[in-house]
Structure 1
């Protein structure tokens, strides 16, 4: 078989349907809404609006959030159609393998895997950084060796990050239905805390803090500030906040009535997240001049204390830490299903694609958790944020273009989905260009790390995946 035919060999969607049939369909719309909101509205809603306002946008941070939401929304429509038509584990990896072929599916999935490995370690480290001050207030202080990544500020291992990732893995290993129940409760608490901040903070908003809404453009040590250049720089930083809806699609093989459940879960959770992000951003810059948030790790707490609400600030901070578990749960569920799908197809060792006696992909789950713990132990918090958006945006571009290959097959070998991306064929192109637009705005380090990860993926594919994949074995039989 020629090289091009090898890398473009496509999986029959009925094969994935059969392979994933042992996964238990137990998740409803409310579970996916909680999963999506819990993953999207993570630690970033409590920190990112103030940081971006101080570094790049001023009061126009709300515009950056809206633009980033439009980009994410365009891609979310593509995700909604794909997941409704092909409710398989692995999301973009499985879809692209069906519509474009094995190699392109691997690249899309490999890019997403970077998101899950790094984001899990990133949120674990962020939870640790926010929990340690709360513990210190009650007299519990960990030594530097147990508070930081290896070689960072005297650190050996971030013990809290290790523990929370392991605890979440234990929870998810009991089954997605139990994990979804916990997720629903924690997301409710987190949303209530956000609404509490919005209501209390809105009483102290000053119009003068919004003037000028878009500051004059200038270059700073952090890059562009003010003008549309600063807003664009803010979009690239903020986009990290919206990528969590992929975690919903990765679990579509466990959805009840996925044709309706998946689009409602994906688009609904994104809509809720946009409203919350924009509202928090506007209240933050309205309460205090945006310059006050420079180098602040807790802008929400700073704003509340400045207007005389220290108790509310403490409550929000505590709930914020607890709420980070929702992101860990969502990413652990999604990442483990992606690794399971790699093993299922022979792209990685097949034990990763096996289910336990209760039809749970726990081999993949513990592989994800152990690698995330190791990454969090080896790399500092700031380093971990570089690769998350880059890998996800690559997958987003594949999925957007994949709609063009999907449509001609709907109603034939792929069922006609209950939901379709509107304004076809224009919107898929806009989704692709919008994702490319955000990717282009990432800093050079993110692009370099993405390139290194891409090359590693090529090595694994051509030395292992291309020979061990089930498509290769099927052709030989």
Structure 2
């Protein structure tokens, strides 16, 4: 699998679509409405546009260097070992946490019929819930170990179903709304919390979580036929298609709300089954007959996404091992060409995440800042590579690379900042844990010690993480102290982004070092399967 290019453009597209249409469609309309009210519609549109701008940076890099686990390996070529490991740590953590998050979403919806699986309101799993989660995680891991080709064939069929099922639900809800002359949303202000709420919904309402699936195409670039055309097609196509579906779901959710649902304000939407928001919507609209269809989608959608995220998390671990930062056994493949040992490690770590992160929303809140931070390596690497290997063939070449990269980097930092101080404050713990693992492995492994850390190229990381943490603390999102009022905080993030981007590009590896990596890489790139 990792040694052949066997994925068609449509297979790559469906890989990303399947990941985007995971458990997000079951919950995000509810949480974005809490944060932004009816203006959640604007949040989805802005979120989609922002992520398309960011995604194009990954598309250029992955088309030029079509590697398995590209978002982990490319930073090694631009800034060396330490930067590559720090970002691979964030990326791996986010991918690994995504799998139990999707499983958690399935179990929460099942509590309507099996209430003993999870506690009400919080969604924390009971003993029966943990057993169910273990069973589902084992199935997901086994399919990934067995065969990517089987997985992709099954995923294509599952993805078609995942597209059709929400559309059927949306059409049915709109028909009821038309018959009963429902307004677009209960009488209230369209944007009760202003732009602050709109931006908060993008970061904390599940929009980043939902659209994160676009990166699946990048992670599997090493297995794609004709990556130069397939990657832009898969990345942009998946975001555009899924944005349309999510907008329809958001409109359907708003249309179905009754005045009693928002009697305590949009921030306190009252649903009879908050663990499964669309269950409440169907019951309110007297569409009980569609519950089997809803639950078919609530099971297929998240589990198919979990299959894709397990594939990507194992490739992230595989790539980190290939960079020399983790033990070699994680870099080994089974007879089917799959990183089976990396998959088993991810299964164990994923199971550990159910206890400290009780419930779907808690998991998504944790994931949000990890995702936003992991995105920044895209624009930084794109611009660095333009300086380091300017003559390298680029199948996709973005115009105005400096403007594009600086803009994308600023947007990444906005997404991280909007996730709030509550989340950003915890990032330091993740950074410390990753550094301990890296230096611990280097202490016991002579081969790892022989790989230079390129510490000078990582000097920009410390003012970056420190500055972002300080701005978040002084800002107004996620219980910051509001010393930087809304508006001025965005300007501060802009100026901060300009400075850090300049520093990161200035501290890139020398062109000859990057060229050595590229020359070695070109001898090992996988061949396209005929």
Match of 1:285 in 2: 254
Match of 1:235 in 2: 202
* Partner Cα separation in structure 1 for residue 416 and residue 353 of structure 2: 24
Residues 355-376 of structure 1: CA deviation (Å, up to 9, x unaligned):
1233221111111112112322
**Alpha carbons of 1:423 and 1:195: their partners in 2 closer, same or farther (altered >3 Å)?**
farther
Gap regions ≥5 residues in structure 1: 1-20, 218-225
How many residues of Structure 1 are paired with residues of Structure 2 in the alignment? 436
Match of 2:236 in 1: 267
* Partner Cα separation in structure 2 for residue 163 and residue 92 of structure 1: 30
Match of 1:405 in 2: 384
Within a 5 Å distance, the mapping from 1:52-201 to structure 2 comes to: 52-53=32-33, 55-134=34-113, 136=114, 155=127, 158-201=130-173
In the alignment, structure 1 residue 23 sits paired with structure 2 residue 3: yes
**Alignment match of 1:432 (pick from 397, 409, 414):** 409
Q: Is the 8 A contact 1:90 1:341 kept in 2?
A: yes
**Alpha carbons of 1:32 and 1:214: their partners in 2 closer, same or farther (altered >3 Å)?**
farther
Cα drift, residue 468 of structure 1: 4.9
Match of 1:220 in 2: none
> Which shifted more, 93-102 or 298-307?
298-307
* Partner Cα separation in structure 2 for residue 466 and residue 430 of structure 1: 39
Cα drift, residue 203 of structure 1: 2.0
Match of 1:3 in 2: none
* Partner Cα separation in structure 2 for residue 244 and residue 111 of structure 1: 16
* Partner Cα separation in structure 2 for residue 193 and residue 469 of structure 1: 53
SS at match of 1:158: helix
**Alpha carbons of 1:475 and 1:285: their partners in 2 closer, same or farther (altered >3 Å)?**
closer
* Partner Cα separation in structure 2 for residue 102 and residue 304 of structure 1: 51
* Partner Cα separation in structure 2 for residue 265 and residue 467 of structure 1: 41
* Partner Cα separation in structure 1 for residue 239 and residue 280 of structure 2: 27
Q: Is the 8 A contact 1:346 1:468 kept in 2?
A: no
Q: Is the 8 A contact 1:190 1:319 kept in 2?
A: yes
SS at match of 2:425: helix
**Alpha carbons of 1:154 and 1:368: their partners in 2 closer, same or farther (altered >3 Å)?**
closer
Within a 5 Å distance, the mapping from 1:200-215 to structure 2 comes to: 200-205=172-177, 206=181, 208-210=183-185, 214-215=189-190
Q: Is the 8 A contact 1:410 1:417 kept in 2?
A: no
**Alpha carbons of 1:337 and 1:427: their partners in 2 closer, same or farther (altered >3 Å)?**
same
Within a 5 Å distance, the mapping from 1:319-334 to structure 2 comes to: 319-334=297-312
* Partner Cα separation in structure 2 for residue 469 and residue 109 of structure 1: 21
Cα drift, residue 464 of structure 1: 2.3
Cα drift, residue 198 of structure 1: 1.8
SS at match of 2:5: coil
**Alpha carbons of 1:475 and 1:327: their partners in 2 closer, same or farther (altered >3 Å)?**
closer
**Alpha carbons of 1:107 and 1:42: their partners in 2 closer, same or farther (altered >3 Å)?**
same
SS at match of 1:204: helix
Q: Is the 8 A contact 1:346 1:465 kept in 2?
A: no
SS at match of 2:225: coil
**Alignment match of 1:445 (pick from 422, 427, 435):** 422
Match of 1:11 in 2: none
Cα drift, residue 417 of structure 1: 2.1
Superposed CA RMSD: 2.7
* Partner Cα separation in structure 1 for residue 308 and residue 24 of structure 2: 15
* Partner Cα separation in structure 2 for residue 124 and residue 38 of structure 1: 15
SS at match of 1:386: helix
Q: Is the 8 A contact 2:36 2:194 kept in 1?
A: yes
Q: Is the 8 A contact 2:107 2:117 kept in 1?
A: no
- TM-score normalized with structure 2 length: 0.76
Cα drift, residue 411 of structure 1: 5.6
* Partner Cα separation in structure 1 for residue 370 and residue 446 of structure 2: 23
* Partner Cα separation in structure 2 for residue 460 and residue 92 of structure 1: 20
* Partner Cα separation in structure 2 for residue 466 and residue 37 of structure 1: 42
**Alpha carbons of 1:472 and 1:239: their partners in 2 closer, same or farther (altered >3 Å)?**
same
* Partner Cα separation in structure 1 for residue 396 and residue 127 of structure 2: 50
Q: Is the 8 A contact 1:57 1:214 kept in 2?
A: no
Cα drift, residue 80 of structure 1: 0.5
Within a 5 Å distance, the mapping from 1:378-417 to structure 2 comes to: 379-381=357-359, 382-410=361-389, 412=391, 415-417=392-394
**Alignment match of 2:28 (pick from 48, 58, 65):** 48
In the alignment, structure 1 residue 294 sits paired with structure 2 residue 274: no
Residues 80-132 of structure 1: CA deviation (Å, up to 9, x unaligned):
01110111122221111111211111111111111012111211122122234
**Alpha carbons of 1:465 and 1:23: their partners in 2 closer, same or farther (altered >3 Å)?**
farther
* Partner Cα separation in structure 2 for residue 119 and residue 99 of structure 1: 27
Gap regions ≥5 residues in structure 2: 263-268, 454-530
Match of 1:250 in 2: 219
* Partner Cα separation in structure 1 for residue 377 and residue 443 of structure 2: 20
Match of 1:314 in 2: 292
